Structure 1
Amino acid sequence: MVDVFSNALIQLSSLKPYVLLPIIIFLFSWLFRLPFAKAIHSSLLIGIGFLGIFIVFGYFIESIEPALKMLIVRTGVHLNVLDVGWTPLSAIAWANKIAPIYVILIFGINLLMLLVNFTETLNIDIWNYWHFIMAGTLVYETTHNILLATIATTLAAVLTLKFADWSAPAVERLTGLSGISITTFSGQSYLPLGVIGNQIIDRVPIINKINLDSETMKNRLGILGEPITIGFVFGILLGLSAGYGIKNTMQLGVEIAGVSYLIPVMSGIIANGLIPISEGIKVFSEKKLKAGRKNYIGLHYAVLMKYDSVIVTGILLMPIALFFAFILPGANFIPFGELANISSAIVMIVVVTRGNVFRSLVIGIPIIIGKIYVASYLAITLTRLYQNPKLDFLEVEGLITSFLEGGNLLRFWIIKLCEGNTVSLLLLPVMIMMLVLSYQWFIKTQRDLINSPMPVSAEVKSLKLEK
């Protein structure tokens, strides 16, 4: 019986996210009493939106990878580690023999936290549980202690749920959607750093007056402030740096401009699919829950990719990440495997800064530097894990790493904490302080939302969702 259930979970987790998530969304739509036709339509829209994002990201990688390889050849840099992106890491996590048990554990803890009012979020993004499982997998690889591995998995999941709760009012302020929160570990990992970084900038004269959101950029720079123009310019510069001719350079510019345009479109499809579900959750909460209590459905950060500030910040961070990878001593890879997905690292920072691209860049740059070093450090461990015979879909020689997921700073701290690393233990009070400040930010954001229930950013006004 246990084997049957375990195999069922393995088969379920093997579904693509754009297949698994619509199924789960449909089931919860029924729970929240949505009409059958509307539940089907919303679920399919969400699946289509995610499929579109996967296709666009895949195309982006195919477009820039040859240019980045040419750039490496032209610079003469010889690095011995290959950035393979997040896909092999998810495969490593799901190949873990106890991954099905961890899925049950994570979901069970989530339900328990809901029952005791320790969270308001139900994380239904089951496919992305691999982020939590990866923490446990890495701890087990270095300690061979199943208890410590389980603690790491649990800690990653619990922290993500709390960050999802605390950022939910700010997400509602940005999107206009109530009843949803973001439960993607790769994005939520940096919420506390975003909160603290934003508060530090608030105290710096002159700098604290700079408000460079996407709407301001459009007003001041015109067409030059549009994401598609910024993407086009980045593509042209990358093509020229790689030694491309005029034809290929122009082609690369248009391709990256196209990606910059299409990702928000796909995210908008997801958001439109979420509108009926969001309304259903709101009605359900008002009828069934205690006054003042809210419930959120935890979803992937892709629902926020509709907003220009997220796209623009991500595009601007791409050349910055490449620059630091080339010049930082100790860096052993060029981040082209996950460069297209760099927005995942700053999406919640953009939420915290209310779409201020300048602040998001200032906070995001140290995070990118930290990711480069952590991903470089973990290359040997990740390569050893990837030598599992089950993982034969990607043929690589030498060492591998993952820029964003392998370089996740919060996961790295959890791993080192479970290993008993002295520095990580000394950082524990700092982490507690960051959690306290994040909670205080949540209280303030919640109060502001109550006093001003309509979205307040200029970007939201220009991107109202169509019902």
Structure 2
Amino acid sequence: MAILEYILGLGPSVMLPLVIFVIGLLLRQGIGKSLRAGITIGVGFVGINLVISLLTDNLGPAAQDMADRFNLGLSVVDVGWPGASPMAWASSIGTVAIPVAILVNILMLALKMTRVVNVDIWNIWHMTFTGAIVSTATGSFWLGIVGVVVHSAFIYKLGDWFAPTVDKHFGLEGIAVPHGSGAWSAPFAVLIDAILDKIPGIRKIYFNSTKIEERFGVIGEPVIIGAFLGIIIGFLAGYPVSNVLQLAIQMSAVMVLMPTVVKFIMEGLLPIAEAARELLDKRFQGQNYYIGLDPALLLGNSQVVAASLIFVPLTLVIAVLIPGNKVLPFGDLATIGFFVSMAVGVHKGNLFRTIISGIFIMGISIWIANMMIGVHTDLARQTGTIENGQVASLDQGGSPITFILTELLHLQHLIPLLIIGSIYLVSVVFTYVQFKRNRIYSEEVTTTEEVGHESTRVGQ
């Protein structure tokens, strides 16, 4: 266990390359190819961390200054995933969560309940956080383990359902994204997309960053859009002109650098993922396994990057408009792309629909995070993360999975539980029905083609 804790302490930029190196060796890719894949992924994660730091160090303070300037009353700071994940690993649940989540994955694979083979070990912290919150709220270690099991099983199923979206829209064949914030939001997008399809006029609206660039020329280019958003946030924060211009250039850099650094992760991950998928397909013919990977792969998509920057100021506006909210979005502003990335795929790159879905998703996240302040703070104090004050987080602290499981056992917010639980249940059931229809259709097409080929062979 001490070895496991040491590896976790290295962080994703070292931990994931080590995991990929070992997997590469197991897949007989050789030391050279496996080492190159691991190091390339490490370089990509270092790059992403640098870009996220660029946002956190510059955009975060601007957001806080803006909130202070307009006296928005947001007194509890969102510590983001960098603050929430150490709490999860330092909890009593953190010592056993990884073996539990892996065991759930193996059992589901053996029972043919999922096709996702999850190698994204670091992001098991999402399942761990759910278990830690449940344990903190109920005082039961074993109920915390149940939280890890339920979250893991559900997230693997979401990986199955949205693997076709990852393939068709993002061009990542054989890849799934069983991720705590990247996956849970997707069912909301599916339901909203279906509703928008029924509204005359609205259903025909379509635009994305490419369309904007075509319509407005150089003004619509991502680098210009980034600068424009930086200028708006800088002025709202009350910055002097020099600082506003610096923030503008920094946001432009994010628009350019994020897709660039993601390419390194893809370069390292995809060959290993393809080798793993081929091996599994040979051993278990017809199963079409998916390799579960980090949603950072999706951040290379230009529409995801554009949506990420749009939602930085928009999330702050949403936080202000939610009645009684005390959470100031801060730590997760830099990673809002994870929340809306799958929605971009569901809406086929339509930024108009992504904005509508994203407003709902971020609104739900902030509402939940606000209600979870108490138990979140208790967890932080138990793990020695803080001594005074209160904390919150949008990533996992604002997850409906964590909230619903906790409230079912704790019953502190009954009316919100009924509202959020009902909406999410409808979204998940609707998503499942859509997934089954699409898969059945694909299987029917395949069967028809096979029958046609068979008839041709018989005729010959």
TM-score when normalising by structure 2: 0.90
Amino acid at match of 2:146: I
Deviation by residue 1:396-430 (Cα, 9 ceiling, x = unmatched): 75222113332222321221123357554687676
Deviation by residue 1:7-62 (Cα, 9 ceiling, x = unmatched): 22222222210111111112222333324322221221112111110111012111
Amino acid at match of 1:27: V
Are 2:226 and 2:248, in contact at CA under 8 Å, matched by a contact in 1?
yes
The alignment status of 1:434 with 2:404, answered yes or no, reads no
Question: Deviation at 1:284?
Answer: 1.9
1:175 is paired with a residue whose SS is: coil
1:216–1:452 CA distance, 2 compared to 1 (3 A): farther
1:98–1:122 CA distance, 2 compared to 1 (3 A): same
1:216-227 aligned within 5 A: 216-227=211-222
Question: Deviation at 1:69?
Answer: 3.2
Q: Which residue in the other structure is 1:403 paired with?
A: 394
Are 2:93 and 2:128, in contact at CA under 8 Å, matched by a contact in 1?
no
Output the aligned Cα RMSD. Answer: 2.4
Question: Deviation at 1:152?
Answer: 1.5
Q: Which residue in the other structure is 1:79 paired with?
A: 74
Q: Which structure 2 residue ranges, 5 or more long, are not aligned?
A: 447-460
Using the alignment, how far apart are the partners of 1:98 and 1:372 within structure 2?
A: 25
Are 2:67 and 2:74, in contact at CA under 8 Å, matched by a contact in 1?
no
Deviation by residue 1:152-171 (Cα, 9 ceiling, x = unmatched): 21111111100001111110
Question: Deviation at 1:269?
Answer: 1.4
Using the alignment, how far apart are the partners of 1:272 and 1:195 within structure 2?
A: 30
With 66-75 and 343-352 compared, the bigger mean Cα shift is at: 66-75
Deviation by residue 1:54-94 (Cα, 9 ceiling, x = unmatched): 11101211112332233233213343312222222111111
1:184-223 aligned within 5 A: 184-223=179-218
Q: Which residue in the other structure is 1:412 paired with?
A: 403
Are 2:208 and 2:303, in contact at CA under 8 Å, matched by a contact in 1?
yes
1:69-148 aligned within 5 A: 69-148=64-143
Using the alignment, how far apart are the partners of 2:21 and 2:435 within structure 1?
A: 30
Question: Deviation at 1:450?
Answer: 8.6
Amino acid at match of 2:6: Q
Using the alignment, how far apart are the partners of 2:64 and 2:284 within structure 1?
A: 55
Using the alignment, how far apart are the partners of 1:255 and 1:426 within structure 2?
A: 40
1:449–1:67 CA distance, 2 compared to 1 (3 A): farther
The alignment status of 1:348 with 2:342, answered yes or no, reads yes
Q: Which structure 1 residue ranges, 5 or more long, are not aligned?
A: 1-5, 454-467
Amino acid at match of 2:430: L
Are 2:80 and 2:393, in contact at CA under 8 Å, matched by a contact in 1?
yes
Are 1:371 and 1:409, in contact at CA under 8 Å, matched by a contact in 2?
yes
Using the alignment, how far apart are the partners of 1:226 and 1:237 within structure 2?
A: 17
The alignment status of 1:233 with 2:241, answered yes or no, reads no
1:447–1:278 CA distance, 2 compared to 1 (3 A): farther
1:233–1:426 CA distance, 2 compared to 1 (3 A): closer
TM-score when normalising by structure 1: 0.89
With 242-251 and 155-164 compared, the bigger mean Cα shift is at: 242-251
Q: How many residues align?
A: 444
With 299-308 and 419-428 compared, the bigger mean Cα shift is at: 419-428
The alignment status of 1:59 with 2:54, answered yes or no, reads yes
Question: Could you tell me which of 266, 275, 278 is aligned with 2:270?
Answer: 275
Using the alignment, how far apart are the partners of 2:381 and 2:371 within structure 1?
A: 18
Using the alignment, how far apart are the partners of 1:198 and 1:99 within structure 2?
A: 37
Q: Which residue in the other structure is 1:328 paired with?
A: 322
Amino acid at match of 2:427: M
Are 1:223 and 1:229, in contact at CA under 8 Å, matched by a contact in 2?
yes
Question: Deviation at 1:305?
Answer: 0.4
Using the alignment, how far apart are the partners of 1:261 and 1:319 within structure 2?
A: 19
Q: Which residue in the other structure is 2:449 paired with?
A: none
With 153-162 and 424-433 compared, the bigger mean Cα shift is at: 424-433
Using the alignment, how far apart are the partners of 1:283 and 1:127 within structure 2?
A: 24
1:97–1:359 CA distance, 2 compared to 1 (3 A): same
Using the alignment, how far apart are the partners of 1:361 and 1:346 within structure 2?
A: 9
1:70–1:176 CA distance, 2 compared to 1 (3 A): closer
Using the alignment, how far apart are the partners of 1:133 and 1:329 within structure 2?
A: 30
Deviation by residue 1:373-406 (Cα, 9 ceiling, x = unmatched): 22122222222221236436xxx75222113332
Using the alignment, how far apart are the partners of 2:356 and 2:73 within structure 1?
A: 29
Are 1:196 and 1:434, in contact at CA under 8 Å, matched by a contact in 2?
yes
Q: Which residue in the other structure is 1:460 paired with?
A: none
Are 1:33 and 1:280, in contact at CA under 8 Å, matched by a contact in 2?
no
Are 1:88 and 1:386, in contact at CA under 8 Å, matched by a contact in 2?
no
Question: Deviation at 1:446?
Answer: 4.9
1:432–1:342 CA distance, 2 compared to 1 (3 A): closer
1:297 is paired with a residue whose SS is: strand
Question: Deviation at 1:282?
Answer: 4.1
1:65–1:303 CA distance, 2 compared to 1 (3 A): same
Amino acid at match of 2:305: I
Are 1:330 and 1:373, in contact at CA under 8 Å, matched by a contact in 2?
no
Question: Deviation at 1:259?
Answer: 1.2
Using the alignment, how far apart are the partners of 2:441 and 2:251 within structure 1?
A: 37
Q: Which residue in the other structure is 1:365 paired with?
A: 359
Using the alignment, how far apart are the partners of 1:75 and 1:430 within structure 2?
A: 33
With 378-387 and 433-442 compared, the bigger mean Cα shift is at: 433-442
1:128–1:286 CA distance, 2 compared to 1 (3 A): closer
1:245–1:329 CA distance, 2 compared to 1 (3 A): same
The alignment status of 1:386 with 2:377, answered yes or no, reads no
Are 1:13 and 1:126, in contact at CA under 8 Å, matched by a contact in 2?
no
Question: Deviation at 1:443?
Answer: 4.0
1:118 is paired with a residue whose SS is: coil
